[in-house]
């Protein structure tokens, strides 16, 4: 018996059908098209609140870019100067020649270099948020793929065990026939019934695993958790040479945000250094005095004096530089960690693929053949029931091991397939 691995088309028409039929009448909703892994991924992405949160963060960061490089708002000046508080002219706004009602404005002018650096910092933050969106999206893709795989594997396990139920029933029938013909023993009948009951129990446990996996899938696809699954992708095909993945490690989804974070931190260092160079502001005011006196116009220029750089600007520069160094070290640590994880996953995928081919080519057909031969011998009177039961148990264990190995291969495939952004990803 061969156990070919089915293929699945990339998302396209199937996804359109899923979305279209989901909007039609309840009668059509009862029979949606099979849900492929890639369609599940796309559907979940559209519904995931994590993705909406990242989109909102990007909108906020991009909206902050323009204001970051602008001049600060001007300040309105309203006041009264030199108001008498005693004597005959107490609290009069017009009797004393020094009393003035003042109206003016003040505008600060940060250095152009600082304004450009602030805009650059805001741009880096927006780039970081975009990178985090790609990383979040790939994380959701992998999580949904794993949930879909868990359902597919659980259903495959239940299906393979169910296929052996017919063999177990045949063994029980053969034992009953032998007992009726007087060549079997009561113990044979009991053993055969025990084997059937044990297999049925395993089938029930496998079905419970299906229900549990469906519950996990419901987290991502509330409206499609009970949908029939389409054939699985080809777990043997990564879509790229496995050896080429190591060379792409710098583009791993967990490392995407580091470049923008480093740039933002470097901009913070440059901004801290720019604080050692003073800004200036301009103040203009019109002062109105009593009708018998002349009105006044005043102009003032203010310049900051960063003369205590050793105790103010320099420590800030050192702090920002330390943050940059920390981000660089974190990136190096993440690069090493995810590089090692990638190599381990590639090794698991390769080993599982080779072993699974051996199961499909040799082990499973041999187990089926041994069971059939033992049952035929027992029916013909040349074998004993115990040998039949042993071969049945071996066939069950082989199938379960095959399914577990398929699960290992599929999970490794999901990790590798969604580790890097696709070409043209936002």
Mean pLDDT of 359-377: 77
Q: How much is the pLDDT for 183?
A: 53
Confidence category of residue 77, pLDDT binned at 50, 70, 90? very high
pLDDT, residue 215, reads 92
Distance in angstroms (rounded) separating the CA atoms of residues 114 and 119: 9
The answer to whether residues 8 and 233 touch, using CB atoms and an 8 Å cutoff, is yes
Residue 171's pLDDT is: 57
Q: Which residue has the higher pLDDT, 394 or 209?
A: 209
- The predicted structure's pLDDT at residue 4: 40
How many other C-beta atoms are found inside a 10 Å radius of the C-beta of residue 250?
13
1 confidence band (pLDDT: 50, 70, 90) = very low
Asked whether the beta carbons of 102 and 227 are under 8 A apart, the reply is no
Between β-strands 100-109 and 75-81, what pairing exists: parallel, antiparallel or unpaired?
antiparallel
CA 138 centroid distance within chain: 5
Per-residue pLDDT at 286: 96
pLDDT, tens digit (0-9, with 9 covering 90-100), for 200-210:
888 888 899 99
Question: Is 199:168 a contact under the CB 8 Å cutoff?
Answer: yes
Q: What are phi and psi of 282, to 5 degrees?
A: -125, 135
Tokens linked to 8: 């699945």
Is the Cβ–Cβ distance between 406 and 206 less than 8 Å? no
Output the CA torsion 393→398→401→402 (10° steps). -140
Q: Mean pLDDT score of the chain, rounded to an integer? A: 85
Least confident interval from 22-36, 246-260, 302-316, 325-339: 22-36
Q: Mind giving me the DSSP string for 100-141?
A: EEEEEEEEEE--HHHHHHHHHHHHHHHHHHHHHHHHHHHHHH
pTM of the model: 0.78
Angle at 368 (CA atoms; ends 362, 372), nearest 5 degrees: 140
Task: For residues 214 and 119, give the distance between their C-alpha atoms in angstroms, rounded to a whole number.
Answer: 48
Which residue reads 């018996």 in tokens? 1
Q: pLDDT tens for residues 21-43? A: 444 444 444 567 899 999 999 99
């Amino acid at each position: 018996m061969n156990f070919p691995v089915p293929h699945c088309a990339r998302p396209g028409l199937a996804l359109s059908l899923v979305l279209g039929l989901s909007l039609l009448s309840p009668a059509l909703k009862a029979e949606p098209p099979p849900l492929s892994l890639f369609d599940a991924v796309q559907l979940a992405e559209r519904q995931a609140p994590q993705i909406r949160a990242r989109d909102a963060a990007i909108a906020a960061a991009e909206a902050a870019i323009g204001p970051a490089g602008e001049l600060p708002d001007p300040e309105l000046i309203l006041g009264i100067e030199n108001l008498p508080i005693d004597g005959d002219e107490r609290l009069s706004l017009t009797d004393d020649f020094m009393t003035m009602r003042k109206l003016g404005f003040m505008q600060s002018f940060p250095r152009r270099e600082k304004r450009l650096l602030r805009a650059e910092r805001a741009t880096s933050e927006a780039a970081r948020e975009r990178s985090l969106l790609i990383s979040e999206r790939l994380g959701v893709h992998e999580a949904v793929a794993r949930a879909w795989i868990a359902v597919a594997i659980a259903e495959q396990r239940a299906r393979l065990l169910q296929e052996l139920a017919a063999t177990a029933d045949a063994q029980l029938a053969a034992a009953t026939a032998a007992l009726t013909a007087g060549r079997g023993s009561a113990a044979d009948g009991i053993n055969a019934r025990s084997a059937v009951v044990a297999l049925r129990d395993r089938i029930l446990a496998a079905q419970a695993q299906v229900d549990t996996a469906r519950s996990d899938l419901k987290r991502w696809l509330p409206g499609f958790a009970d949908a029939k699954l389409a054939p699985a992708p080809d777990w043997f095909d990564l879509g790229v040479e496995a050896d080429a993945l190591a060379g792409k490690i710098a583009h791993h989804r967990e490392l995407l945000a580091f470049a923008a974070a480093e740039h933002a931190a470097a901009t913070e260092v440059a901004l801290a250094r720019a604080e050692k160079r003073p800004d200036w502001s301009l103040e203009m005011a019109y002062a109105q005095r009593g009708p018998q006196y002349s009105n006044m116009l005043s102009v003032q220029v203010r310049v900051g004096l960063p003369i205590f750089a050793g105790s103010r600007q320099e420590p800030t520069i050192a702090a920002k530089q330390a943050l940059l160094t920390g981000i660089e070290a974190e990136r190096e640590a993440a690069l090493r960690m995810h590089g090692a994880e990638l190599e381990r996953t590639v090794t698991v995928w390769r080993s599982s693929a080779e072993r699974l081919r051996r199961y499909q080519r040799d082990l499973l057909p041999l187990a089926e053949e041994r069971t059939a031969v033992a049952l035929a011998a027992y029916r013909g009177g040349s074998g004993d029931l115990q040998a039949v039961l042993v071969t049945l148990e071996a066939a069950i264990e082989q199938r379960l091991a095959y399914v577990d190995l398929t699960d290992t291969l599929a999970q490794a495939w999901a990790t590798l397939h969604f580790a890097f952004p696709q070409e043209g990803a936002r």
